[in-house]
């Protein structure tokens, strides 16, 4: 059957419900566009849902994916906007759905979707689990990477989203229909059939992720034959707290903690068949090794790798901690095979030792660091949607349009474009969303959503009843949730007891409380009995609180006047064997909820209309790209540039390794920015003051001539860039034959004849400037782009003069993703790569050092050749240094001005390195480009689009809401002691000298409701008890009139 779905204009189809798809969907939805989020599997989350920990932060915190602070853990979602009963009203989720066909063009696609049956209704499944208990089919669990089994009817993960079972009705399903027979709510229908649906969408975003390399494909490593050889995703499940062992690391053959673990890198990467770098494995192997060190005392961890590619913010420091603090051993060797000792199941590896002789080592566990491959079905998808794949089978993109496929209107993000980690996927996803917003600017805000309430809605509710001053009239609604609750708790006795509690005027059971009948019964009773507080005794706040908040709001009550008692997960399900005890506990949980409900007060958020203008600081490629995207989307932009011209360091880049012309990009960007009516450009101008809050900032701009101007704006984007460091390391600036890579690029562009005459060139990588005392002026970090720049220039020299000897002295070659091909190409063309390490840095000397005849002076470079273990001496014509990229000058002052933090490298520090790489913790301020970290032009473009998209979600709001569960200072009690300022994990409270505190003394704390995260830390520490957390006040927790914290009902 084919259904024609009626579609609003400007709808966007997001393909893939992993971290990238979710990120793109939420931004588009927030901007007021309709989103179809299509996922092939039964639940959202993708690969990331399987990861227990992220590098380098070692946190799971998907819950920090957005600034939403909803209820509890949001795994596998990145935001409470993806929790079942709080789904964003603009997002329609379709699981087990694939794309079969598409037609049309940008702005008007018709896409045919095929919905495969789940066989279990998401609406009617209550997760009681009776079906799985009777299912006779056991299969390996995909979520747990086959380490345990699951039934044919199962949940894709314990906390899957949608939160419901489904049937994997493959050939192994015996169609015994026991599940259908046993289901108490009639949710199972094994006769469901696949059906097709057509949707009309303006744009498509592909977020289909990647496929792991097949660990068994390389037979020499014994995966599948040797029990103690596991692949990295299996290892992730072992160490995950939601894994089969709740995080205990055990080796498969004997379930004993391993004592020696080896990681073999580049399995399915950087080989003949996969000539690209998978980009993520170096870091995840480091993370996995550190996790082992943290979990298993005395474990030996050894990583066998070619290069350590720790090329992002904080990654290098993390890698060094792994070596130095945790003692993870890194061995530079590509292991080609291994053997198993059949007695012990130990694994035997051979590799050259430090003396060059082969040695044999035993490990009791080997982890194969499997790489990233194009997702399954990529070709079919490309055919259906009409876009091209590249030679590796990933989505083809254009260097300077990194998020666009070859088909206009179809965008790509994340690992489908090239192997990428979480942070980059999120940047891409937000960027693709931003790109779509600019394209369909006339539809922005067309489907407004509201955060006026603690749940997401369209804001269309009946007027609210004023209950202020009324004594509490509490209604208690008990969900039977047969068999879950009713099976353990005596509902009648519970109700009987509930009626005796103070303020309770009504108590009744509601069958299945979350079903439409149950919700209707609650609303009816609120009206009939004039209830002004509601207790729902049912399941988890985490999954259902939004639903009941919505219900009471629909009944005319403030949404904060409902309290749940979790008598299912926290009671019936865990005490099913003790009905008497379960009933007593349920009575107590309901009593506590009644106590708290009686103390609840209505909460109102504040509506704010944003100033619809963005301030962008920095007029380089990132700043200009963000400015154009925001202006194209229909909002004003003030673009501030310190120098006299737009363009930043793009002026210095003449070509990129992929062959495109950055100067054309530069001219194009500058012309479009200059010509755009919505962009006000201020060159020779700096921001000297910045105050206000999201939606309403005020900045003072100072021109070079001293004139000042005030701009009010809703968001601020930092795009101040970075710069090539200088200094005098290796005779830079002191010897005419020593130049930087940027200078070489300039020479290649303008004086190629000179370059072609060179016979011997040496390039040194990873050069950090020195201060006056000879110490490194920068902390060690990877500047990410230098290896590729070096290879780009080395190749140009080799093309101009194949006989020129080019020697690159490096620590690790960082040519991640498809850039690996240029590294291969450079070696093919005879560029020599010689590794050095920190202990043996190259020595550069000037021969016949007479400064007057400087041009004739020769150079001598000496480096320890690691293979030969002997010094290698070169006297090159030219020495080219890859200087570190440092933050732009003035970054620290700007950070102080904006009150945003810097990383230890000196770059701007975002809200969360993995989950929020374009946001600052302060809502409304964003960062992109090299101000964040060194990056390639295309990465700066994606990042800029990401900030633009995030900015538009605020600028397009009409209005947005602040407040809710936030800390509020009673200034009359505040003595300005600064305790809150010092203990807040987010540095939000400030003592404001204009506010009057206790005793009329100037200087009281102020906690900006737009910024407060609502953790309550300050409220528990304030010595004057001057701070209360809304909805968690002392009264609401301690409930003085009804002892709920320590006492229990007696039965």
Q: Are 554 and 523 in contact (CB under 8 A)?
A: yes
Pick from 404, 951, 944, 947: which is nearest to 624 by CA? 944
Based on CB atoms, which residue is closest to other proteins, 158 or 459? 158
Per-residue HEC secondary structure of 431-493 comes to HHHHHHHHHCHHHCCCCCCECCCCCCECCCCCCCCCCCCCCCCEEEEECCCCCCCCCCCCHHH
- CB of 17: closest distance to other proteins in angstroms? 20
Distance of closest approach, residue 739 Cβ to other proteins, in angstroms: 40
On the question of a cis peptide bond just before residue 56, with omega within 30 degrees of 0, the verdict is yes
Can you say whether residue 706 is alpha, beta or left, with left for phi > 0 and alpha for psi between -120 and 50 degrees? left
Nearest to other proteins of 68, 428 (CB atom): 68
Question: CB 499 → other proteins: shortest distance, Å?
Answer: 14
CB-wise, 59 or 877, nearer to other proteins?
59
Nearer to other proteins, 605 or 957 (CB): 605
Nearer to other proteins, 540 or 824 (CB): 540
| Closest distance to other proteins from the beta carbon of 997 (Å) | 10
- Whole-number Å distance between alpha carbons of 906 and 904: 5
- Give the DSSP H or E segment for 379: helix 378-385
Q: How far is the CB of 235 from other proteins (least distance, A)?
A: 16
Identity of the residue, 74 or 882, whose beta carbon is nearer to other proteins in the bound complex: 74
Give the residue with the Cβ less far from other proteins, 524 or 1025: 1025
- Closer to other proteins at the Cβ: 186 or 1000? 1000
We find the least distance from the C-beta atom of residue 566 to other proteins, in angstroms, to be 8
Give the residue with the Cβ less far from other proteins, 862 or 1035: 1035
Closest CA to 798 of 745, 758, 854, 851: 758
Placement of tokens 């005395």 in the chain: 298
For 683-774, strand residue ranges (E) read: 685-693, 696-703, 708-713, 715-718, 722-724, 738-740, 760-767
Tokens 């150079």 correspond to: 859
- Give whichever of 348 and 998 is closer to other proteins, judged by the CB atom: 998
> Nearest approach, Cβ of 536 to other proteins (angstroms)?
15
What residue spans of 730-841 are helical by DSSP H?
741-750, 752-756, 786-800, 820-828
Tell me the C-alpha distance between 410 and 262, whole Å: 42
Q: Tell me which DSSP letter residue 888 carries.
A: P
Judged by CB, which is closer to other proteins: 191, or 297?
297
- Quote the least distance from Cβ 1024 to other proteins, whole Å: 5
Least distance to other proteins from the beta carbon of 781, Å?
22
Closest by CA to 880, choosing from 797, 786, 796, 761, is 761
User: Which residue is associated with the tokens 């079942």?
Assistant: 84
Q: Residue 998 Cβ, how far from other proteins at the closest point, in Å?
A: 6
Output 1002 or 1020, the one with its CB closest to other proteins: 1020
Nearer to other proteins, 234 or 278 (CB): 234
How far CA 911 is from CA of 33, 144, 318, 716, in Å, comes to 25, 30, 18, 15
Longest dimension (CA), the chain: 103
Please, what sign has the CA dihedral across residues 529, 531, 536, 542? positive
In eight-state DSSP terms, residue 66 is S
Q: How far apart are alpha carbons 613 and 636 in whole angstroms? A: 5
Pick the closer one to other proteins by CB: 427 or 1027. 1027
**To the nearest whole angstrom, how small is the minimum distance from the Cβ of residue 521 to other proteins?**
25
Nearer to other proteins, 57 or 840 (CB): 57
In the complex, the smallest distance separating the C-beta of residue 549 from other proteins, rounded to whole angstroms, is 14
Q: Are 936 and 788 in contact (CB under 8 A)?
A: yes
> CA–CA separation, 952 vs 409, rounded Å?
19
> What residues form DSSP beta bridges with 703?
685
* Beta partners for residue 104, in sequence order: 109
Nearest CA-CA partner of 165 in 221, 124, 197: 124
Smallest gap, in angstroms, from Cβ of residue 780 to other proteins?
23
Cα separation, 54 vs 914, in Å, equals 8
Provide the total of helices (H) and of strands (E) in the chain, helices listed first: 22, 51
- Residue 378 CA to residue 388 CA, distance in Å, equals 10
CB of 663 to other proteins, least distance (A): 44
Task: State the first-to-last Cα distance of the chain, in angstroms, to the nearest integer.
Answer: 58
Closest alpha carbon to 15 in 371, 375, 419: 375
Q: Which two tokens stand for residue 759?
A: 């016979």
Contact 14, 20 (CB under 8 A): no
- Kind of pairing, strands 960-962 and 805-810? unpaired
Burial 778-817 (b: 16+ CB within 10 A, else e): beebbbbbbbbbbbbbbbbbbebbeebbbbbbbbbbbbbb
The dihedrals phi and psi of 496, each to the nearest 5 degrees, come to -55, -45
**Smallest distance, other proteins to C-beta of residue 485, A:** 11
In the complex, minimum distance from the CB of residue 54 to other proteins, in angstroms, rounded to a whole number: 10
Q: Is 706 exposed, middle or buried (0-12, 13-18, 19+ CB in 10 A)?
A: exposed
* Closer by beta carbon to other proteins, 505 or else 1049: 1049
When computed from its CA atoms, the radius of gyration of the chain, rounded to whole angstroms, is 31
Least distance to other proteins from the beta carbon of 23, Å? 18
Rounded to whole angstroms, the Cα distance separating 576 from 588 reads: 16
Q: How far is the CB of 473 from other proteins (least distance, A)?
A: 22
């Amino acid at each position: 059957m084919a259904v024609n779905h009626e579609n609003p204009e400007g709808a966007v189809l997001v393909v893939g419900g992993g971290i990238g798809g979710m990120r793109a969907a939420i931004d588009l939805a927030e901007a007021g566009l309709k989103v179809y989020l299509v996922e092939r599997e039964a639940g959202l989350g993708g690969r990331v849902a399987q990861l227990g920990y992220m590098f380098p932060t070692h946190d799971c915190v998907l819950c920090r994916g957005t600034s939403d602070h909803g209820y509890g853990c949001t795994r596998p979602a990145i935001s409470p906007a993806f929790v079942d009963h709080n789904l964003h009203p603009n997002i329609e989720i379709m699981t087990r759905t694939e794309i079969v066909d598409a037609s049309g063009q940008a702005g008007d696609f018709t896409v045919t979707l095929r919905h495969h049956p789940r066989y279990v209704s998401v609406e009617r499944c209550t997760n009681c689990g009776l079906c799985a208990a009777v299912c006779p089919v056991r299969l390996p669990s995909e979520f747990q990477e086959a380490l345990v089994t699951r039934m044919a009817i199962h949940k894709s993960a314990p906390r899957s989203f949608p939160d419901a079972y489904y049937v994997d009705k493959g050939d192994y399903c015996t169609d015994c229909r026991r599940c259908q027979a046993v289901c108490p709510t009639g949710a199972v229908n094994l006769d469901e059939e696949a059906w097709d649906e057509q949707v009309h969408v303006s744009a498509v975003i592909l977020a289909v992720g990647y496929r792991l390399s097949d660990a068994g494909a390389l037979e020499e490593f014994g995966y599948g034959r040797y029990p103690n050889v596991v692949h990295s995703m299996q290892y992730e499940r072992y160490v995950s707290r939601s894994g089969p062992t709740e995080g205990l690391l055990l080796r498969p053959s004997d379930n004993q903690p391993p004592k020696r673990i080896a990681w073999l890198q580049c399995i399915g990467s950087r080989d003949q068949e996969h000539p690209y770098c998978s980009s993520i494995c170096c870091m995840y192997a480091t993370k996995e090794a550190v996790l082992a060190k943290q979990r298993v005392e005395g474990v030996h961890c050894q990583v066998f790798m070619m290069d350590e590619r720790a090329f992002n913010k904080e990654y290098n420091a993390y890698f060094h901690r792994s070596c130095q603090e945790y003692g993870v051993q890194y061995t530079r060797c590509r292991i080609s095979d291994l053997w198993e000792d059949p007695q012990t199941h130990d694994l035997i590896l051979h590799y050259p030792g430090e003396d060059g002789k082969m040695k044999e080592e035993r490990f009791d566990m080997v982890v194969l660091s499997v790489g990233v491959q194009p997702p399954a079905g990529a070709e079919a998808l490309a055919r259906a949607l009409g876009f091209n794949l590249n030679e590796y089978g990933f989505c083809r993109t254009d260097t300077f349009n990194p998020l666009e496929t070859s088909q206009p209107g179809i965008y790509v993000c994340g690992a489908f474009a090239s192997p990428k980690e979480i942070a980059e996927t999120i940047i891409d996803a937000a960027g693709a969303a931003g790109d779509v917003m600019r394209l369909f600017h006339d539809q922005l805000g067309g489907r407004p959503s509201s955060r006026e309430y603690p749940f997401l809605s369209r804001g269309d509710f009946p007027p609210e009843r004023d209950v202020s001053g009324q004594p509490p009239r509490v209604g208690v609604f008990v969900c039977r949730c047969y068999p879950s609750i009713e099976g353990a708790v005596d509902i009648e006795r519970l109700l009987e007891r509930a009626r005796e509690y103070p303020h309770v005027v009504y108590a009744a059971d509601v069958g299945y409380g979350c079903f439409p009948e149950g919700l209707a019964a609650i609303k009816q009773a609120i009206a009939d009995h004039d209830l002004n507080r509601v207790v729902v005794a049912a399941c988890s706040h985490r999954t259902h609180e939004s639903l009941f908040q919505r219900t009471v709001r629909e009944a005319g009550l403030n949404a904060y006047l409902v309290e749940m008692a979790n008598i299912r997960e926290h009671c019936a399900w865990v005490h099913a064997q003790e009905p008497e005890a379960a009933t007593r506990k349920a009575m107590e949980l309901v009593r506590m909820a009644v106590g708290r409900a009686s103390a609840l007060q209505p909460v109102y958020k504040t509506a704010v209309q944003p100033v619809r203008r963005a301030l962008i600081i920095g007029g380089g490629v990132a700043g200009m790209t963000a400015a154009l995207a925001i202006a194209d989307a229909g909002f004003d932009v003030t673009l501030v540039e310190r120098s006299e011209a737009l363009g930043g360091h793009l002026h210095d880049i003449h070509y990129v390794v992929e062959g495109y012309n950055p100067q054309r990009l530069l001219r194009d960007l500058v012309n479009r920015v200059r010509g755009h009516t919505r962009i006000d450009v201020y060159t020779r101008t700096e921001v000297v003051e910045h105050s206000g809050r999201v939606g309403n900032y005020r900045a003072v701009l100072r021109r070079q001539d001293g004139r000042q101007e005030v701009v009010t704006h809703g968001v601020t984007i930092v795009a101040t860039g970075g710069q090539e460091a200088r200094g005098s390391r290796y005779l830079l600036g002191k010897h005419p034959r020593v130049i930087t890579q940027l200078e070489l690029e300039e020479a290649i562009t303008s004086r190629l004849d000179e370059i072609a005459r060179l016979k011997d060139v040496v390039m040194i990588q990873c050069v950090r400037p020195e201060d006056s005392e000879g110490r490194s002026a920068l902390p060690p970090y990877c500047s990410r782009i230098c290896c590729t720049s070096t290879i780009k220039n080395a190749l140009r020299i080799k093309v101009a003069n194949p006989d020129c000897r080019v020697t690159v002295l490096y620590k690790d070659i960082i040519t991640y993703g498809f850039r690996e091909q240029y590294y291969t190409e450079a070696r093919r063309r005879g560029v020599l790569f010689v590794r050095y390490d920190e202990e043996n840095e190259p020595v550069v000397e000037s021969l016949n050092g007479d400064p007057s005849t400087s041009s004739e002076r020769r150079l001598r470079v000496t480096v320890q050749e690691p293979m030969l273990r002997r010094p290698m001496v070169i006297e090159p014509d030219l020495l080219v240094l890859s200087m570190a990229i440092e933050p732009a000058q003035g970054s620290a002052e700007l950070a102080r001005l904006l009150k945003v933090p810097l990383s230890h490298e000196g770059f701007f520090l975002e809200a969360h390195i993995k989950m929020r790489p374009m946001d600052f913790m302060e809502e409304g301020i964003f960062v992109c480009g090299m101000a964040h970290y060194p990056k390639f032009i295309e990465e700066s473009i994606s990042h800029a689009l990401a900030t633009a998209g995030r900015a538009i979600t605020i600028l397009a709001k009409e209005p947005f809401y602040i407040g809710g569960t936030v800390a509020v200072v009673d200034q009359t009690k505040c003595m300005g002691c600064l305790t809150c300022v010092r203990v807040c994990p987010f540095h939000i409270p400030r003592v404001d000298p204009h506010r009057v505190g206790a005793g009329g003394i100037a200087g009281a704390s102020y906690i900006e409701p737009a910024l407060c995260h609502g953790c309550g830390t300050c409220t528990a520490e304030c010595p004057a008890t001057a701070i209360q957390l809304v909805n968690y006040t002392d009264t609401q927790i301690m409930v003085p009139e009804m002892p709920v914290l320590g006492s229990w009902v007696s039965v």
